[in-house]
Amino acid sequence: MTWLLLLGCADTSLGGGGDGGDGAPADIVAPRPEAALVPTCTPGSDADRDGVPDEVEGCDGRDTDGDGVPDYLDLDSDGDGVPDAIEAGPDAARPRDTDGDGVPDLRDRDSDNDGLLDGEEDRDGDGRVGCCRARCGEPAVGCPSVRLDQCAEGQRCLADGRCSPPRAFLCARGETDPRQGTTFGDVADAVDISFVCRAPQNDAGGDGARGRVEMRVERFAAADLALALPRALSSQRLQLLAAPAKELAVTLAGADRALLGFAAARPLSPADAARDDDTLLGAQLVRVAASLPVGLRAVRLRAGTRALSHDQKPMLRRGALELESDTPRTLGELRDVLLALLLGRAPFELGGSGSSGAAAPGPAGTRFRMRLSIVRRTADALALVGAVARAEDADDPARVVGLLLDDLGDGTALAGAEARLEVACEPHVLRGRPTADILWVIDGSYSMRDQKQSVKDSAQALFARALAAGLDFRMGVTTMVDPDKYPASVGALCSGAQAGGVGGAGADRFLRADERAAFERCVASTPLADAQREYGMLALQKAIERHLPRKLHPRYIRPDATLAVILISDERPQSLSDLINADPQGLAGYVNCTLDASLQGHLRATYAAQHALLSGQSHGGEGRAALHLVGALCNSSCADDVAHGYIELAQDSGGSISNVCKKDLAEDLERIFDSIIERAVPTRLQGRAISMSLALAHAAADPASPPSQLARSRTRGFDVHPESRALLLVGVPVKTGDRALVSYSRWRAAGAER
């Protein structure tokens, strides 16, 4: 069973996390506020102005946390992250002692003696459990504002102005009360689902470490670069030959060296610095692919997605290369070649494994995957982060290599040198199982013969992506048959039971996720397709209508499914061609790339039924779908006509448009899949998570049910969809009402308010 979830969009700004480095200080720490105050301890006075009298904090030089600052000058005497002013309670002269052990809370790092440090329970040290409110409408710093008659998520406003319950899973956001061992009723805080937001600890139950992913930060001020890494990745800064100030290279390695990564900064030449962002960023991977040494070649290139970094710098995310080598080479050798090309250097200039003459680290292979993100951090410098792995390791769903490859290559680990990390925790209650039914309308005419293999490969790739992502999907495949010859087969779905499927045994039904071979047969074989006449618009319409009303049945579109249509053709609709042939002078403008207002009106009137169907204006809204066109565009090299009709329908339905003449449609099909995922799930993971820091705990709806931490996995656990920020629960039994809590680290710009 597979579930997808996306988390709410409310702001979460829970403090936590920390920075590390490569020997240099991780942060420049400002002077402590108390250091500038009067240093003498005088009974009846308050030297550090925290509201707690000096004699209560101790005039005997007591230094509870051993930080060199006596308690009477220390705003947080026990160093637990919760200020003395909060821990002292309402009567600072008689500070609170929650567990009655004789040690006041302001000197007790575990005030309620539940085994959890106060700073781990109240991570931002504000004395409040997440964003939960005590009174209706009260303000809460760092939390979404509410109306006077509202409380926080999971709470309701009572007639007397109180919020009930006082604390709830949704508003707590992974925090618990440091003064109460059972924040949420009968469940002890020590075993509550919030453990995933705390520092990792070994689980006595035998599941291994439980808790958030601890991240470290390495900073390189001269290159304006910070890099967030989990403890599992080692790093080494290379000693580049004659490197200018802004040039930098760092190599990264996993424990088994099945994945090798890199981060780099590269100063730009005056000519490159003058180029616009899109041209400059897009040229980097293309240049690498064109400059590979003899015996190594790129068999596929994906340019990546244009985006902005967390601090709004121009960025190209998730570029990809698939590489083949004539002879086996080690992963380290390949990494050095690619890194050198990105820096405009020879491998021996890196000062790393490639310059020593010894064998580079990592396993050997002939097929490799590379992922890369590039950020233009300043006008005259680029920052890069990426990784390489053997194809067989990256494609193995039972291993984490593919996940780490995508995580390093998505650019979320990069930031400016002054950025800081913070930990965020997002709760979610699962609300049903997102599903997708995907209809393929494929032109099987003679003119598509040169595109047939590309269509087949791309369809197989999308099916594989849906499987790997854990999407609950079905595929329906139909072709463009002549309604005069085969009226009963228009819009019928292929079962794969026999060649061509349509009209065969068990025909006209959707294919399940476990029927991959049947799907591939249906895509590859279209025997009823007309050799010259492509009635695609009619096939699209009938493929939806004959599978309504929605119901839980192999033939019909499911009630809870997001419907998507992928139409592939190198022609315009046959019905439009028939109209043009009947009035060649009046409709001559259809050969143009853009249409005037009269032709646009004519087109929408001609296909009003299809527009109404996909927009949800007919059939009770049950045919609502996005049309993704892989078709004949303006000046397409393999097509004579512009696919007007399809193009406008795809635009109006919120779908995508791709060029059918491309030899490699993998990137286009990936965008289509991203769109399907985005539509299938109603909410989003809030904030820009650093992908390698994601952790998730899951618990049944019953609060007494013990929670478990799920591993990052594409077979059993959870994964994150990079574009839509969907969290996908794969192979995990989940019911409506179950709870999930996600922790992750994210960048915060220097000086930004939480």
Statement to judge: residues 235 and 359 lie in one domain: yes
Statement to judge: residues 394 and 525 lie in one domain: no
Where does the pLDDT of residue 563 fall: very low under 50, low under 70, confident under 90, or very high at 90 and above?
very high
For residue 387, which of 263, 281, 292, 296 has the smallest C-alpha distance? 263
- Kindly report which listed range (222-236, 502-516, 575-589) carries the lowest average pLDDT score: 502-516
Distance CA 166, CA 155 (A): 8
Where does the pLDDT of residue 527 fall: very low under 50, low under 70, confident under 90, or very high at 90 and above?
low
* Reported pTM: 0.79
Q: Which residue has the higher pLDDT, 230 or 584?
A: 230
Where does the pLDDT of residue 596 fall: very low under 50, low under 70, confident under 90, or very high at 90 and above?
confident
Quick one: average pLDDT of 631-643?
A: 83
Structure tokens at 180: 């109460």
pLDDT in tens, 59-105: 998 999 999 999 999 999 999 999 999 999 999 999 999 999 999 99
Quick one: average pLDDT of 364-387?
A: 94
Boundary residue ending a domain (651, 668, 685): 668
Give the domain extent around 630: 435-458+479-668
Where does the pLDDT of residue 354 fall: very low under 50, low under 70, confident under 90, or very high at 90 and above?
very low
pLDDT for 95: 95
Statement to judge: residues 492 and 639 lie in one domain: yes
Where does the pLDDT of residue 751 fall: very low under 50, low under 70, confident under 90, or very high at 90 and above?
low
CB atoms near residue 581 (< 10 Å) = 9
Structure tokens at 695: 């952790």
Boundary residue ending a domain (668, 692, 727): 668
Contact criterion met (CB below 8 Å) for 428 and 3: no
| DSSP letter string, 453-486 | HHHHHHHHHHHHHHHHHT-EEEEEEEE-B-TTT-
User: How many residues does the structure list for the chain?
Assistant: 754
Q: Is residue 513 part of a domain?
A: yes
Q: Dihedral sign for Cα 511, 5, 186, 152, please.
A: negative
pLDDT for 703: 67
Where does the pLDDT of residue 432 fall: very low under 50, low under 70, confident under 90, or very high at 90 and above?
low
Statement to judge: residues 394 and 487 lie in one domain: no
pLDDT for 5: 39
Statement to judge: residues 245 and 346 lie in one domain: yes
Distance CA 173, CA 499 (A): 54
Q: What residue type is assigned to position 377 of the chain? A: R
Q: What CATH number does the domain containing 655 carry?
A: 3.40.50
491, 495, 496, 497: CA torsion to nearest 10: -130
Distance CA 34, CA 55 (A): 17
Q: Is residue 557 part of a domain?
A: yes
Q: Would you call 567 helix, strand, or coil by DSSP?
A: strand
Tracing tokens 């010259």 back to the chain, one arrives at: 532
Distance CA 573, CA 445 (A): 13
CB atoms near residue 594 (< 10 Å) = 10
Statement to judge: residues 631 and 546 lie in one domain: yes
On average, the pLDDT of the chain sits at: 86
Q: Is residue 698 part of a domain?
A: no
Q: Is residue 701 part of a domain?
A: no
Q: Is residue 114 part of a domain?
A: no
Exposure string (b/e) for 402-426, b if CB count within 10 Å is 16 or more?
bbbbbbbbbbbbbbbbebbbbbbbb
pLDDT for 14: 33
Distance CA 414, CA 411 (A): 6
Statement to judge: residues 248 and 393 lie in one domain: yes
Statement to judge: residues 569 and 605 lie in one domain: yes
**Residue 19 in this model has a pLDDT that exceeds 70:** no
Percentage, residues of the chain above pLDDT 90? 56
Statement to judge: residues 259 and 309 lie in one domain: yes
Per the DSSP assignment, residues forming a β-bridge with 746 are 422
Statement to judge: residues 521 and 649 lie in one domain: yes
Distance CA 504, CA 515 (A): 16
Number of structural domains (the chain) is 2
Q: Is residue 140 part of a domain?
A: no
Tracing tokens 């808790």 back to the chain, one arrives at: 211
Contact criterion met (CB below 8 Å) for 424 and 744: yes
**Spatial CB neighbours of 312, under 8 Å, sequence gap ≥ 6:** none
- Kindly report which listed range (258-262, 429-433, 613-617) carries the lowest average pLDDT score: 429-433
**Residue 522 in this model has a pLDDT that exceeds 50:** yes
Statement to judge: residues 344 and 492 lie in one domain: no
Boundary residue ending a domain (647, 668, 689): 668
**Residue 470 in this model has a pLDDT that exceeds 80:** no
Structure tokens at 71: 């308690």
**Residue 3 in this model has a pLDDT that exceeds 70:** no
pLDDT in tens, 400-427: 899 999 999 999 999 999 999 999 999 9
Statement to judge: residues 314 and 391 lie in one domain: yes
DSSP state of 638: T
Distance CA 686, CA 742 (A): 11
Q: Is residue 32 part of a domain?
A: no
Chain-centre distance for alpha carbon 474: 23
Q: What CATH number does the domain containing 374 carry?
A: 3.40.1000
Distance CA 591, CA 61 (A): 88
Structure tokens at 7: 């988390």
Per the DSSP assignment, residues forming a β-bridge with 739 are 429, 699
Distance CA 469, CA 305 (A): 19
pLDDT for 32: 46
Q: Is residue 715 part of a domain?
A: no
| DSSP letter string, 141-177 | TTS----TT--STT-EE-TTSBEESSS-HHHHTT---
**Residue 26 in this model has a pLDDT that exceeds 50:** no
Distance CA 401, CA 717 (A): 15
